[in-house]
């Protein structure tokens, strides 16, 4: 297939672009490089630099694309609370531009990066796709609005869409890994201590109603996540929009994650407990039953593998 990968210079987009190329697909990456890196685009993929508003139509026009994988987005929760307008404009606005360009050019399949943040503070775990969606920040709200738009575009214009709601993505795939300028995620921040680029890790609260008092999250290896995109691509059915959760179904606390990082790196990794980070739910764990039974997806990598792959990636760049 000939595929457009938006945001293919970013962490998850670059991993999936590499996997698509290995599976024999042709890949064009569209990325404005606002947070991504040109050298993260895998060899064999063509890079077009620009926003979806400026370039999506031009790229798709008459070029024989079969489908789009849409990763390009602003994704910092805290920033979204400070600048909601920016998030609505970039996430929903740019996605609408992409969907309009797809309609105009007759490209009718899309796999979209949605998020567990669409659920907000869950009433129960593990979270099912049918559970209430009440995002607690503009980032989650914009992703939920795009999911809703995809449902409408499927009904009205025959688009075949799959939204994948990612839980906590971690790990690396060879030379493709996490390289955020502003790093907010737990595992890269903990590993940065082992690598000597941070003094210590801050644990955001230990008074949550969880076994050790720290927040529990469902970590999924980026390679397992990527495989789900290839299955989702095959499953895009014109006129239908499907939503799947993507996680391992296991929860690990912040303290457990730090402990695994200590074991993998052999570094003591000092940790300081600080106040809660506003907006963090106590427990977020996915039920991935639906994608497992409908698409035959299964997670294959555990937390230790995620940490050791992320660690190898970090060391390779030191
Ligand atoms: N966390 C932490 N210290 C950090 C980064 C994150 O204690 O330096 C906690 C955070 O409060 C959350 C969990 O680790 O409970 C996972 O956070 P992350 O930002 O990686 O992902 P999120 O679940 O927010 O998408």
User: What is the set of domains in the chain, with CATH numbers?
Assistant: 2-169+219-246 (3.40.50.720), 172-218+249-286+295-316 (3.90.25.10)
* Across 146-165, average pLDDT: 98
How do residues 211-269 score in pLDDT, each as one tens digit?
999 999 999 999 999 999 999 999 999 999 999 999 999 999 999 999 999 999 999 99
Structure tokens at 139: 């980032």
Query: Is residue 185 lining ligand 1, measured as CB closer than 6 Å?
Result: yes
Distance 311 CA to ligand 1 centre (A): 18
Per-residue pLDDT averaged across 52-81, rounded?
97
What's the pLDDT tens digit per position in 18-29?
999 999 999 999
Q: 318: pLDDT confidence band, cut at 50, 70 and 90?
A: confident
**What is the band of 181 on the pLDDT scale with cuts at 50, 70, 90?**
confident
Give catalytic residues, as residue numbers.
139
Atom index in ligand 1 nearest the CA of residue 184 equals 19
Planar angle of CA 52, 53, 54, nearest 5 degrees: 90
State which of 167, 256, 277 you would mutate to test the pocket of ligand 1, scoring each by most atoms of that ligand within 8 A of its C-beta.
277
The CA 59 to ligand 1 mean position distance, Å, reads: 37
> Would you state the pLDDT for residue 279?
81
Phi, psi of 2 (to 5 degrees): -100, 125
Q: Specify burial of residue 3 (Cβ count, 10 A radius: 0-12, 13-18, 19+).
A: buried
Give me the chain's average pLDDT, please: 97
Task: Retrieve residue 63's tokens.
Answer: 């070029």
115 lines ligand 1 (CB under 6 A): no
Ligand 1 atom index nearest CA of 189: 8
Nearest residue (CA) to ligand 1, atom 19: 185
204 CB within 6 A, ligand 1: yes
194 ligand 1 Cβ < 6 A: no
Tell which one of 193, 204, 218 to mutate to probe ligand 1, the residue whose CB is within 8 A of the most ligand atoms. Answer: 204
**pLDDT score recorded for residue 24:** 98
pLDDT band at 117 (very low <50, low <70, confident <90, very high): very high
Sign of CA dihedral 61, 63, 69, 75: negative
Percentage above 70 pLDDT, the chain: 100
pLDDT of residue 269: 98
Q: Counting Cβ atoms within 10 Å, is residue 151 exposed (0-12), middle (13-18) or buried (19+)?
A: middle
* ipTM surpasses 0.90: yes
| pLDDT for 182 | 87
Distance CA 274, CA 104 (A): 51
- Beta-carbon contacts of 8 under 8 Å, excluding residues fewer than 6 positions away, are 14, 16, 17, 27, 29, 30, 31, 36, 41, 45, 47, 71
Q: Which of 77, 113, 119, 217 to mutate to test the pocket of ligand 1 (most atoms within 8 A of CB)?
A: 217
Distance between CA atoms of residues 209 and 136, nearest Å: 19
Q: Which ligand 1 atom lies nearest to the CA of residue 203? A: 7
Q: For ligand 1, is residue 136 a contact (CB within 6 Å)?
A: no
């Amino acid at each position: 297939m000939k595929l457009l990968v938006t945001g293919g210079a970013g962490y998850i987009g670059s991993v999936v672009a590499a996997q698509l190329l290995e599976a024999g697909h042709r890949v064009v990456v569209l990325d404005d490089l606002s947070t991504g890196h040109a050298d993260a685009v895998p060899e064999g993929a063509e890079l077009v630099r620009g926003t979806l508003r400026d370039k999506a139509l031009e790229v798709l026009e008459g070029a024989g694309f079969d489908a789009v994988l849409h990763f390009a987005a602003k994704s910092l929760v805290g920033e979204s609370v400070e600048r909601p307008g920016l998030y609505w404009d970039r996430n929903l606005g740019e996605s609408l531009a992409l969907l309009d360009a797809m309609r105009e050019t007759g490209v009718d399949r899309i796999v979209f990066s949605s998020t567990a943040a669409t659920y907000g503070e869950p009433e129960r775990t593990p979270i099912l796709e049918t559970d209430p969606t009440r995002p607690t920040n503009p980032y989650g709200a914009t992703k939920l609005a795009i999911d809703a738009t995809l449902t409408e575009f499927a009904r009205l214009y025959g688009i075949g869409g799959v939204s994948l709601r990612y839980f906590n993505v971690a790990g690396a795939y060879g030379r493709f890994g996490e390289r955020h300028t502003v790093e907010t995620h737990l595992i890269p921040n903990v590993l940065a201590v082992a690598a000597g680029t941070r003094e210590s890790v801050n644990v955001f609260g230990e008074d949550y109603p969880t076994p050790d008092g720290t927040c529990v999250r469902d970590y999924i290896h980026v390679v397992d996540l990527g495989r789900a995109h290839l299955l989702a691509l095959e499953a895009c059915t014109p006129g239908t929009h499907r939503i799947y959760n993507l996680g391992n179904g296991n929860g690990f606390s912040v303290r457990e994650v730090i402990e695994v990082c200590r074991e993998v790196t052999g570094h003591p990794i000092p940790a300081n407990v600080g106040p809660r980070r506003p907006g963090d739910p106590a427990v977020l764990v996915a039920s991935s039953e639906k994608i497992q039974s409908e698409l035959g997806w299964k997670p294959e990598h555990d937390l230790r593998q995620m940490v050791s792959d992320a660690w190898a990636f970090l060391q390779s760049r030191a």
